[in-house]
Amino acid sequence: MKGIIEYLEARVDGKTLYTKELVYSLEGGALQGVYSDQISFSNLKYSKTGLQLDMFLVSNERIYTSGAKTPLGELQKDFSAVSLFRYELAQRKSTGGITGLFRFVSASGKGIPAEAVVSGIHGVHIQNGTLSLREDQALYRDQLAPGGSYKPVAFKAEHRFFVQDGKLHYEYEGESLDVDAASLRRKPSADSFPPFASIEK
């Protein structure tokens, strides 16, 4: 835990990063999402066995139908918001491993997809200067579907922090899973998301 705290304190806490605009595909290409953001990491608090770190997110996210002549058609939903998420981690006495959670705290606007969503965090480690951790979203959240409807989905992802050319980089590589709301069984989704790469200016 000491190494994780020292890494966050020296390289991550107090940093602001930017994600260039990227496009992702939903429902087999029926919908296209356009996303960019500004991310700030702050408020690191810790003890000998645990830590807390806030992620403040200013996001621009709009979802369109796929146009007949252009990649983007009619605007379906604007999910742009200012949001606060929080990492909370602890070192387990039973195994020495570090586990915890990543959760939504609050956001501006209404109908935020991440509202009341929490993820389990595991696989926390530093290797070759990169801090990595794995995320497994609990239960499910809403994903926009054609016609203004929604479907239940969950995400599995890897988060990576590293410094390159003196700048902090944060990468998020996620996999979308369709969820059966009754059984909570999951299966791979056809939705396609590119890796999200944010870089300190």
CATH number at residue 190: 2.40.128
**Which pLDDT band holds residue 28 (cuts at 50, 70, 90)?**
confident
d(CA 22, CA 59): 12
DSSP string of 151-196?
Answer: EEEEEEEEEEEEEETTEEEEEEEEEEEEE-TTT--EEE-S-B-PPE
The single-letter DSSP state of residue 148 is G
pLDDT tens, position by position, 90-124: 999 999 999 999 999 999 977 788 889 999 999 99
63 pLDDT more than 60: yes
pTM above 0.85, yes or no: yes
Query: Under a CB-based contact definition with an 8 Å cutoff, are residues 55 and 39 in contact?
Result: yes
If one counts the domains in the chain, the total is 1
pLDDT tens, position by position, 134-184: 999 999 999 999 888 999 999 999 999 999 999 999 999 999 999 999 999
Range of the domain at 50: 2-200
How many C-beta atoms lie closer than 10 Å to residue 89's C-beta? 23
Query: Under a CB-based contact definition with an 8 Å cutoff, are residues 198 and 37 in contact?
Result: yes
68 pLDDT more than 80: no
Task: Tell which residue, 21, 78, 42, has the closest CA to residue 198.
Answer: 21
Residues with Cβ within 8 Å of residue 36, at least 6 apart in sequence: 18, 19, 20, 21, 22, 59, 60
Task: Tell which residue, 79, 90, 150, 165, has the closest CA to residue 120.
Answer: 90
The single-letter DSSP state of residue 102 is E
- Locus of tokens 């290409």: 29
d(CA 102, CA 157): 12
DSSP string of 33-82?
Answer: EEEEEEEEEEEEEE-SSEEEEEEEEEEEEEEEEPPSSSS--SEEEE--EE
d(CA 107, CA 129): 32
